[in-house]
Amino acid sequence: MTQTQLYERLKKEFARIVAENGLAEEPVAVRCRALTPEEAIGNTRRTDFPILEGKDVMIQAEYRGSRGQAFTDAPAAFSGTLAQVLALNILQDAHARGLFIACMNAVMAHLGRCTGTVHCRTQGPEQCAVDMHAWLDTEYPNARRVGLVGYQPALLEMLAGSGRQVRVLDLNPENVGAARFGVRVEDGARAREDLIQWADLILCTGSTLCNGTLVDYMELPVPVVFFGITLAGSAELLGLRRVCFADRYE
């Protein structure tokens, strides 16, 4: 699947859901804005999360009391109807893409089609690593070589201390080549194919949806589990396995 095919499919699937539920014709306002780091994840003990270092921005859409969030490097504010959301040019406009994903997450959450559309805060990101450790032990006990796609410090620290072999890929040049918790961060573009051949399991950030690199981790010969809030609604529509514990910490 190409990036164009991915976004076209998501737009088609979301349009179908909006039509089936009769949402396009009603005057529904969707407010979308960028969150400050404190609003996004609260006051965490550790300060090395990318959003706290200014590398990521989280936007939030609100729909009928439900919230949907997405990490993006192209934040934008928006207020309009779902019909206008569906008219956004998500194929070519990164700002529109982030808005579309956040709005879709909010609507899907309202309809009960997905959970975990709001990022965990304060101690949640640390607890997520603990819960992920237990989840991996239960779901993938024989996965001894785990690839982490997307530098998430709490998860990397957990994996590095879990007795598993771990490799981590990232696209941020400030991370590539650096040692984090005894693991060297590798170039996400150059090392991808080698990681796929090496790993028993890949944990991939759902933020790859916003830049289109999600397609690089779909339909692989190795199991891939996506994590995080950005992919919440899309994982449901695309049939991708996703894990997120954010709802536990609210």
Cα(153)–Cα(181) distance, rounded to whole angstroms?
A: 9
Sequence letter at residue 98: G
For 127, half-sphere exposure in the C-beta direction (CA atoms, 13 angstrom radius) is 15
Contact 60, 68 (CB under 8 A): yes
Tokens 């990164």: give the residue.
94
Cα(83)–Cα(184) distance, rounded to whole angstroms?
A: 45
Q: Is 2 left (phi over 0), alpha (psi -120 to 50) or beta?
A: beta
| Chain segment 24-52, per-residue pLDDT in tens | 876 556 666 665 655 544 555 545 545 44
Whole-number pLDDT of residue 116: 93
The 10 Å Cβ neighbour count of residue 87 is 13
Q: How many residues are present in the chain?
A: 250
Whole-number pLDDT of residue 49: 45
Contact 206, 232 (CB under 8 A): yes
Contact 200, 145 (CB under 8 A): yes
Whole-number pLDDT of residue 45: 54
Q: What is the mean pLDDT of each run of 10 residues along the chain (250 residues)?
A: 95 95 73 58 49 62 90 80 92 90 94 91 78 96 97 93 96 92 96 98 95 95 96 96 85
Tokens 């014709």: give the residue.
25
Cα(165)–Cα(189) distance, rounded to whole angstroms?
A: 20
The 10 Å Cβ neighbour count of residue 22 is 8
Structure tokens that stand for 49 in this block: 């999360």
Contact 77, 43 (CB under 8 A): no
Cα(199)–Cα(131) distance, rounded to whole angstroms?
A: 21
If DSSP states are collapsed to H, E and C, what string results for 78-119? EEECHHHHHCCCCCCCHHHHHHHHHHHHHHHHHCCCCCCCCC
Whole-number pLDDT of residue 54: 45
